[in-house]
């Protein structure tokens, strides 16, 4: 059985991204009373064909009245505390103090503001939630502002129990048949200020207030189609919008607000289908590759869906069962929306119900018409279009001063909207007019150590690329044996670039010998594989492969061969990048410098180091990437440093796991291998382990804390105790989060790299801090959140913050700081390579080399 695309109701879905904007839990499908004014519709009067199945990318507002409900419901995850008991302060003291402006507003409530929870019973019993809501809404003048999900009611008014009755209120109303209905309301509990449920209700109140701004829900956020930015040249629209969340912070309840944009394409999936039919021999497979996994918008009902499949066996002429009998899609859309479907032979798009849909009893597939489904988001080809990305960045990369102005405009719009103010007033709450200010600190600049112990103090630009023109790399590995594999017609360009690399390397005190060239007759994948086999048989230190242009299929073929079948470090370059052009002579020198640095790092050299005061420290990064070929598979990568003091040698490993499979056992096994490699190198175990875990959403935090860390700590303690260290393993486990909505500014500009915020906007239940480690020239810099889950290393707050900052300077793919500690970025790079290109574990022969750079 198939289901029809929704034409009313609420978005529903599996949404991705930040969890900090979460709302109702425990089955609440809230209605904000006093705002609806719409009579209930009995269930039996609705059409037989399933009306709204809803969006696969948005979030559920639940069944019931469309105006009375709140769209965009999300599941609030359980609060997972990480702040150690007895920790009186988590504030650091190192660095220079600065006043930081954040993208938070304080939520102001009257003194003694209290949220009450009531249970609502109907007599005689009514099963239809929509009808229950409608009957209760008749008494909204008495109740004031309220939220009702069909059984539980929340409001700020306390109704005392009447003498001789256990109910606080007993209301009388009538149904459409004229029968008396008794509504009995009983006080259940007072929702405490620190209770997560109160923040859920506050988020719903805010979302309802924002409806007064006349915004449109797309995916998880609200956007303003009236303020859309049209990019006619690229057939795109940019819809500006807002991301919001209310949460309890250190001493106040704060609203986090950020500016976001949604890319809306003017072309439909029918245009995509027409294009692949023209350009591909197997258009069905090509069309599936293009659209499966994408999100589409249907303008006739303003809903979004995730495309899970394409059914070429059905068409708009196919029929389905409705309350009036069988009807074709062509007839349905003409009758329902007055839309004429032009191509009656096009296949139909399939959108599967989410797990939440199925729990609600909706397990039918949803069919969509390609010519009515507007594509959203960007394709890989669009991202590779420099002109398009530049045109978009002019509107989406907001400078700090513009972002602050837009946030203040958001506040002003709420204040000037009568509907918004009515909602907030009914709950006796309001937003502070000023953005929250915090005292932050700028950590001391780090010293980059080059060859001959020459030190460079990293300034606020955090870029030391130019220093390689006058300094040697810290540790150079001369390249004496290497191959260059290139198509025969591009030999001259490859030779010229190699000469430039040799000249650049000499300036960095690194010797690169002349390579041997393998000239292929053409660019077929088999030729690359054969050339790699021939080169590896000569035992090279590294091979360079030249592609005419970026090509994922060829790149995947090369990396599979060089990382799995015939393990050897490889450097892939494209002709577009290395070919000399009159307009970029100096740019080509910079490219050659970066390639030489990469090649040196891949063969166990060290382009630079930082000053690290701790001896015997192992830093570990772990990240997970999902396979683009098989959605049920993911790959977890672990990268660990292998030095007693200097972070220049590494161990890496990758494991494959299926969807829903816990990572704790695999992570512990790979950590055991890393410790074994460390002990073989130094004869002892590391004194301390600093573990950075990336790729964790708030929803996964409970599993990470109670499964991964617990299992890992027990396993490591056992290893250390068996080695005679009775105290066990001294480890700090830090969850690193990049996908957050928090922003902060200094004097309406981006903060300097090294700016730490560890108060006011942090969470009281966490041992956490925010750190900006990179310099951004365009737009607004995004801080990174560090949540210290477990720590018995014996280091204070300052040292953990400084260590985290130091580690952002050690990513050899970029001679500057990165957003996360280098081991995290390495782990991501490795997991992404395997998930996108290799699809299996690389050879163990490469585990001590940074071959994945």
The predicted pLDDT at position 108 comes to 93
Could you give all domains of the chain from N- to C-terminal order, each with its CATH number?
476-602 (3.40.50.2300), 612-735+786-846 (3.30.420.10)
In degrees, to the nearest 5, what angle opens at C-alpha 216 toward C-alphas 210 and 217? 90
List all residues 6 or more positions away from 250 whose beta carbon is below 8 Å from its beta carbon: 759, 760, 761, 762, 763, 764
Average pLDDT, the chain: 85
List all residues 6 or more positions away from 348 whose beta carbon is below 8 Å from its beta carbon: 310, 311, 314, 315, 316, 318, 329, 367, 368, 369, 370
Which residues on neighbouring strands pair with residue 239, listed in sequence order?
262
Over 60: is that where the pLDDT of 71 sits? no
**Beta 348-351 vs 365-368: how paired, if at all?**
antiparallel
The predicted pLDDT at position 586 comes to 60
Over 90: is that where the pLDDT of 257 sits? yes
Mean pLDDT throughout 6-22?
34
- Are the C-beta atoms of residues 122 and 132 closer than 8 Å to each other? yes
Q: Which position has the higher pLDDT, 53 or 509?
A: 509
Q: Is 694 a catalytic residue?
A: yes
**Chain segment 588-646, per-residue pLDDT in tens:** 888 999 999 999 999 999 999 999 888 899 999 999 988 877 777 889 999 999 987 77
The predicted pLDDT at position 193 comes to 78
The predicted pLDDT at position 362 comes to 66
**Chain segment 480-512, per-residue pLDDT in tens:** 999 999 999 999 999 999 999 999 999 899 999
Q: Which position has the higher pLDDT, 218 or 846?
A: 846
The predicted pLDDT at position 74 comes to 41
Q: Quick check: bond before 124 cis, omega within 30?
A: yes
How many C-beta atoms lie closer than 10 Å to residue 626's C-beta?
A: 16
Over 90: is that where the pLDDT of 706 sits? no
User: Which of 65, 258, 623, 643 does the annotation list as catalytic?
Assistant: 623
**Chain segment 432-448, per-residue pLDDT in tens:** 999 999 999 999 999 99
Q: Is 478 a catalytic residue?
A: no
The predicted pLDDT at position 652 comes to 95
- Are the C-beta atoms of residues 393 and 402 closer than 8 Å to each other? no
The predicted pLDDT at position 38 comes to 30
Q: What percent of the chain has pLDDT over 90?
A: 57
**Chain segment 311-321, per-residue pLDDT in tens:** 999 999 999 88
- Are the C-beta atoms of residues 227 and 215 closer than 8 Å to each other? no
**41 pLDDT tier (thresholds 50, 70, 90):** very low
The predicted pLDDT at position 217 comes to 79
**Weakest-pLDDT range from 34-48, 672-686, 728-742:** 34-48
- Are the C-beta atoms of residues 339 and 333 closer than 8 Å to each other? yes
The predicted pLDDT at position 379 comes to 78
Over 80: is that where the pLDDT of 43 sits? no
Q: Which position has the higher pLDDT, 65 or 263?
A: 263
**Chain segment 156-197, per-residue pLDDT in tens:** 988 887 777 788 888 998 888 888 889 999 999 999 877 888
Over 50: is that where the pLDDT of 64 sits? no
The predicted pLDDT at position 583 comes to 57
**Beta 2-3 vs 365-368: how paired, if at all?**
parallel
**697 pLDDT tier (thresholds 50, 70, 90):** confident
User: Which of 149, 694, 698, 758 does the annotation list as catalytic?
Assistant: 694
Task: Name residue, tokens 């709950």.
Answer: 427
- Are the C-beta atoms of residues 752 and 460 closer than 8 Å to each other? yes
Mean pLDDT throughout 44-56?
28
**Chain segment 791-808, per-residue pLDDT in tens:** 999 899 999 999 999 999
The predicted pLDDT at position 369 comes to 94
**Weakest-pLDDT range from 21-25, 657-661, 767-771, 788-792:** 21-25
**737 pLDDT tier (thresholds 50, 70, 90):** very high
Over 70: is that where the pLDDT of 20 sits? no
Mean pLDDT throughout 733-740?
94
Using DSSP, state whether 647 is helix, strand or coil: coil
Over 60: is that where the pLDDT of 54 sits? no
Using DSSP, state whether 708 is helix, strand or coil: helix
Question: How many angstroms separate the CA atoms of 385 and 387, rounded?
Answer: 6
Question: How many angstroms separate the CA atoms of 267 and 373, rounded?
Answer: 9
The predicted pLDDT at position 77 comes to 55
The predicted pLDDT at position 45 comes to 26
Mean pLDDT throughout 648-661?
84
The predicted pLDDT at position 218 comes to 75
């Amino acid at each position: 059985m198939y289901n029809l695309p929704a034409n009313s109701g609420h978005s529903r879905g599996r949404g991705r991204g930040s969890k900090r904007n979460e709302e109702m839990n425990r089955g609440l499908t809230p209605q904000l009373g006093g705002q609806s004014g719409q009579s209930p519709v009995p269930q039996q009067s609705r059409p037989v064909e399933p009306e709204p199945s809803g969006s696969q990318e948005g979030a559920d507002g639940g069944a019931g009245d469309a105006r009375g409900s709140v769209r965009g419901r999300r599941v609030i995850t359980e609060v997972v505390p990480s702040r150690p008991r007895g920790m009186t302060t988590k504030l650091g003291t190192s660095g220079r103090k600065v006043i930081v402006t954040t993208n938070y507003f304080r939520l102001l409530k009257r003194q003694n503001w209290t949220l009450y929870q009531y249970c609502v019973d109907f007599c005689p019993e009514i099963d239809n939630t929509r009808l229950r809501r409608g009957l209760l809404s008749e008494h909204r003048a008495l109740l004031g502002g309220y939220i009702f999900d069909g059984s539980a009611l929340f409001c700020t008014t306390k109704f005392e129990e009447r003498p001789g009755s256990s109910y606080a209120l007993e209301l009388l109303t009538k149904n459409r048949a004229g029968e008396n209905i008794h509504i009995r309301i009983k006080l259940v509990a007072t929702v405490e200020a620190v209770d997560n449920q109160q923040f859920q209700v506050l988020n719903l109140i805010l979302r309802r207030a924002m409806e007064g701004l006349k915004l449109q829900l797309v995916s998880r956020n609200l956007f303003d189609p009236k303020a859309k930015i049209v990019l006619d040249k690229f057939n795109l629209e940019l819809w500006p919008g807002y991301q919001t969340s209310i949460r309890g912070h250190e001493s106040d309840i704060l609203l986090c607000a950020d500016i976001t944009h949604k890319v809306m394409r003017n072309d439909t999936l029918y245009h995509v289908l027409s294009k692949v039919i023209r350009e591909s021999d197997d258009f069905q497979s090509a069309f599936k590759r293009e659209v499966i996994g994408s999100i589409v918008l249907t303008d006739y009902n303003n809903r979004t869906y995730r495309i899970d499949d394409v059914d070429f066996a059905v068409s708009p002429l196919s029929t389905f069962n409705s309350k009036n009998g069988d009807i074709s899609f062509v007839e349905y859309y003409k009758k329902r929306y007055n839309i004429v479907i032009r191509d009656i032979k096009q296949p139909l798009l399939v959108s599967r119900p989410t797990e939440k849909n199925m729990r609600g009893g909706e397990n039918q597939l949803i069919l969509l018409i390609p010519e009515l489904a507007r594509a959203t988001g960007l394709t890989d080809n669009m991202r590779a279009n420099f002109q398009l990305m530049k045109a978009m960045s002019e509107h989406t990369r907001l400078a700090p001063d513009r972002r602050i102005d837009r946030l203040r405009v958001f506040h002003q719009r709420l204040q000037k909207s009568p509907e918004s103010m009515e909602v907030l007033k009914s709950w006796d709450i309001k937003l502070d007019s000023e953005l929250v200010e915090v005292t932050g600190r700028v950590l001391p600049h780090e010293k980059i150590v080059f060859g001959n112990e020459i030190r460079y103090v990293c300034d606020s630009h955090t870029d030391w690329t130019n220093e390689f023109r006058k300094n040697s790399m810290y540790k150079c590995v001369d390249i004496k044996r290497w191959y260059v594999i290139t198509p025969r017609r591009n030999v001259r360009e490859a030779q010229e670039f190699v000469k430039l690399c040799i000249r650049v390397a000499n300036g960095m005190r690194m010797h690169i010998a002349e390579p041997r060239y393998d000239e292929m007759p053409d660019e077929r994948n088999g030729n690359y594989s054969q050339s790699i086999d021939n080169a590896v048989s000569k035992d090279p230190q590294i091979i360079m492969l030249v592609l005419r242009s970026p090509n994922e299929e060829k790149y995947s073929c090369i990396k599979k061969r060089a990382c799995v079948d015939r393990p050897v470090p490889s450097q892939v370059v494209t002709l577009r990048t290395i070919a000399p052009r009159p307009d970029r002579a100096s740019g080509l020198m910079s490219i050659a410098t970066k390639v030489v640095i990469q090649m040196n790092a891949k063969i166990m050299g060290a382009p630079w180091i930082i000053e690290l005061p701790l001896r015997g420290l192992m830093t570990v990064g772990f990240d997970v990437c999902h396979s683009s070929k098989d959605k049920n598979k993911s790959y977890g990568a672990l990268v660990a440093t292998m030095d007693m003091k200097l972070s220049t040698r590494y161990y890496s490993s990758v494991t494959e796991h299926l969807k829903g499979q816990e990572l704790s056992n695999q992570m512990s096994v790979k950590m055991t291998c890393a410790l074994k490699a460390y002990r073989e190198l130094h004869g002892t175990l590391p004194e301390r382990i600093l573990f950075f875990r990336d790729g964790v959403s708030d929803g996964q935090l409970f599993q990470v804390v109670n499964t991964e860390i617990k299992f890992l700590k027990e396993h490591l303690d056992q290893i250390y105790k068996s080695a005679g260290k009775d105290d066990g393993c001294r480890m700090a486990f830090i969850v690193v989060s990049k996908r957050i909505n928090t922003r902060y500014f200094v004097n309406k500009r981006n903060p300097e790299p090294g700016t730490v915020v560890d108060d006011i906007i942090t969470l009281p239940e966490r041992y956490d801090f925010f750190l900006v480690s990179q310099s951004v020239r365009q737009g607004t810099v995004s801080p990174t959140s560090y949540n210290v889950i477990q720590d018995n290393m014996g280091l204070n707050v300052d040292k953990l913050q400084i260590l985290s900052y130091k580690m952002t300077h050690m990513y050899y793919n970029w001679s500057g700081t990165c957003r996360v500690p280098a081991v995290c970025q390495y782990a991501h790079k490795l997991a992404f390579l395997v998930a996108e290109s290799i699809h299996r574990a690389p050879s163990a022969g490469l585990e001590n080399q940074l071959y994945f750079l």
